[in-house]
Amino acid sequence: MRPYASREELYRKIALSKVATSSTAGLSQISSKSIFKLDGLIVGKIFGDIVGASLLFKNIKKREDILRNVSKKDIKKNLEKIYILS
């Protein structure tokens, strides 16, 4: 496994989830206020978070193989690198 080969792909999926959250929240806020006469901010925020989280979970679940190959030794080595460079 190449350690950081899929880093860009994972960031793209996270960014896509954030865009979906914002877009869904905006559309929900407008539609709930105009159609259902509800408080659009709260409903839109909740609905946007649900859609964004489910999209993120779906995309991360596909990349679960990366997370399974991480050991305590790898984590410790990376933490040491971070603290040495700081």
- Those residues whose C-beta lies under 8 Å from the C-beta of residue 47, and which sit 6 or more positions away, are 24, 25, 28
What count of other Cβ atoms lies within 10 Å of the Cβ of residue 25?
22
Q: Average pLDDT over the chain, rounded to whole?
A: 77
Domain ranges of the chain: 7-85
Residue 47 or 2, more confident: 47
* Contact call for residues 32 and 44 (beta carbons, < 8 A): yes
pLDDT of residue 44: 83
Indicate the pLDDT class of residue 1, thresholds 50, 70 and 90.
Answer: very low
Measured CA to CA in angstroms, residue 2 lies from 63, 79, 82 at distances of 14, 19, 20
The residue among 46 and 8 whose pLDDT is bigger is 46
14: pLDDT confidence band, cut at 50, 70 and 90? confident
Q: Which pLDDT tens digit goes with each residue over 69-83?
A: 777 888 888 788 777
